[in-house]
Amino acid sequence: MSEDAILIDRFLEMMMAEAGAAKNTIAAYRTDLTLASEALGGRLSVAQGDDLIALAETWADLAGTTVARKAAALRRFYGFLVDDGLRADDPSPALPRPGRGRPLPKTLSVAEVDAIFAVIADRRGRVPADPLDLRLSALIELLYGSGLRASELVSLPRAAVASDRPYLILKGKGGRERLVPISDRARAAVAAWRLHVPKDSAWLFPSGTSHLSRIRLYQLVKALAAMAGIAPERVSPHVLRHAFATHLLAGGADLRALQSMLGHADIATTEIYTHVDASRLVELVNTRHPLVDAGKRRA
């Protein structure tokens, strides 16, 4: 049994004996803590703040109530570890505290995305080519070019992206299938990377005995942002998904089509991007409207 599993068991025993937690609560805590441990590679009990920030990024598509529940379970777990002297520090302040309001999604400007792709192009142009640069290119082309969720991207089968088919069919949240367009650029990037993927691999992005983890994807994206001169805390796989949606909508994409591509069950979820666009319009009015210049002249 792993160290995480042992400590989770001890924590749940305490919850039952001292806090009198109900069976359903214990079951929910066990599920949330076990999933968190798996996402962190069995390092939940020794995780640091940066690890928890990365973990929280993988919750980006979840409802606020679900995020709050998961974060609460981890806070109580770390509180138990500190109280019992099993670790000296408590990293849980790094966990999110979802509010009642729905915040506007973080996104990037077109220029910032261009800077990211310029770094990738520079790395791909090195001689000899590094297969890891080809992998990074394929990952980012699919994230920004198709708006895939991080979990969908890292678990793509080796043959998911076909060179002669400009789309792929994904089974996303709730088992719902959707058709996702794949650009020519993304298909070319995947084809270049796939030459370095073992033919017997089940995954397009293999790692060890499984596929690339969401946490590792998060780390790769952060490092790439830094190389592009963008503050790493502003960029994540989910931010690139948001950029995909925001830029498509600004370019005239239909909201229903965007809903389908993103895999949102409710169009109300997709409508958040109209608010992002609206906030940019307000900024434009406040900074570019002729009356602004007139006011400055009068002043």
Residues 179, 235: one domain? Answer: yes
Give the closest residue to 206 by CA, choosing from 193, 191, 223, 221: 193
The CATH code of the domain that includes 206 is 1.10.443.10
Q: Which domain holds residue 12?
A: 3-94
- 78 among known catalytic residues: no
Q: Of the listed 29, 78, 218, 273, which one is catalytic? A: 273
- 173 among known catalytic residues: yes
> What is the biggest distance separating any 2 CA atoms in the chain, rounded to whole angstroms?
74
Q: Of the listed 158, 238, 242, 247, which one is catalytic? A: 238
Give the closest residue to 94 by CA, choosing from 77, 74, 66: 74
Residue 269 or 132, more confident: 132
Whether residue 229 is predicted with pLDDT greater than 50 in this model: the reply is yes
Residues 167, 235: one domain? Answer: yes
- 30 among known catalytic residues: no
Residues 44, 157: one domain? Answer: no
The answer to the question of residue 18 being in a domain is yes
The answer to the question of residue 102 being in a domain is no
Q: Of the listed 97, 165, 171, 173, which one is catalytic? A: 173
Query: In this predicted model, what pLDDT tens digit does every residue of 162-172 receive, in sequence order?
Result: 878 888 888 76
- 199 among known catalytic residues: no
Residues 63, 126: one domain? Answer: no
State which of 94, 126, 147 marks the end of a domain: 94
Residues 27, 71: one domain? Answer: yes
Residues 159, 192: one domain? Answer: yes
- 165 among known catalytic residues: no
Ordered alpha helix ranges (H), the chain: 3-17, 23-39, 49-57, 64-83, 110-124, 131-146, 150-154, 184-194, 214-227, 237-250, 255-262, 267-270, 272-288, 290-298
Query: In this predicted model, what pLDDT tens digit does every residue of 252-294 receive, in sequence order?
Result: 766 676 676 776 665 555 556 655 554 454 454 455 545 555 4
Residues 70/37, Cβ–Cβ less than 8 Å? no
Whether residue 140 is predicted with pLDDT greater than 90 in this model: the reply is yes
- Whole-number average pLDDT of the chain: 82
Whether residue 150 is predicted with pLDDT greater than 90 in this model: the reply is no
Give the closest residue to 58 by CA, choosing from 151, 152, 146: 151
**Residue 238: per-residue pLDDT:** 84
Q: Of the listed 149, 211, 222, 242, which one is catalytic? A: 149
Question: What is the pLDDT confidence band of residue 21, given thresholds at 50, 70 and 90?
Answer: confident
How far is the C-alpha of 272 from the C-alpha of 259, rounded, in Å?
11
The CATH code of the domain that includes 80 is 1.10.150.130
Query: In this predicted model, what pLDDT tens digit does every residue of 88-104 receive, in sequence order?
Result: 999 999 998 876 445 55
Residues 115, 218: one domain? Answer: yes
The answer to the question of residue 248 being in a domain is yes
The string of DSSP codes covering 192-256 is HHHTTS-TT-SBSSEETTEE--HHHHHHHHHHHHHHTTS-GGG--HHHHHHHHHHHHHHTT--HH
- Tell me the angle at which helices 3-17 and 64-83 cross, rounded to the nearest 10 degrees: 90
**Residue 293: per-residue pLDDT:** 54
The answer to the question of residue 215 being in a domain is yes
The answer to the question of residue 291 being in a domain is no
- 247 among known catalytic residues: no
User: 47 is written with which tokens?
Assistant: 């995780």
**Residue 285: per-residue pLDDT:** 45
Q: Count of domains in the chain?
A: 2
Cβ neighbours, 10 Å, residue 12: 19
Residue 254 burial (CB < 10 Å; 0-12/13-18/19+)? exposed
Q: Of the listed 70, 187, 241, 247, which one is catalytic? A: 241
The answer to the question of residue 288 being in a domain is no
The answer to the question of residue 104 being in a domain is no
State which of 29, 64, 94 marks the end of a domain: 94
**Residue 63: per-residue pLDDT:** 77
Query: In this predicted model, what pLDDT tens digit does every residue of 95-131 receive, in sequence order?
Result: 988 764 455 557 788 899 999 999 999 999 998 889 9
Residues 44, 134: one domain? Answer: no
Contacts of 242 (CB under 8 A, 6+ apart): 105, 106, 107, 273, 276
Residues 147, 237: one domain? Answer: yes
Residues 255, 122: one domain? Answer: yes
How far is the C-alpha of 190 from the C-alpha of 186, rounded, in Å?
6
Give the closest residue to 120 by CA, choosing from 132, 136, 108: 136
Question: What is the pLDDT confidence band of residue 7, given thresholds at 50, 70 and 90?
Answer: very high
Residues 120, 155: one domain? Answer: yes
Question: What is the pLDDT confidence band of residue 190, given thresholds at 50, 70 and 90?
Answer: very high
Residues 78, 178: one domain? Answer: no
The answer to the question of residue 103 being in a domain is no
**Residue 278: per-residue pLDDT:** 47
Listed range (25-29, 195-199, 221-225, 289-293) with the worst mean pLDDT: 289-293
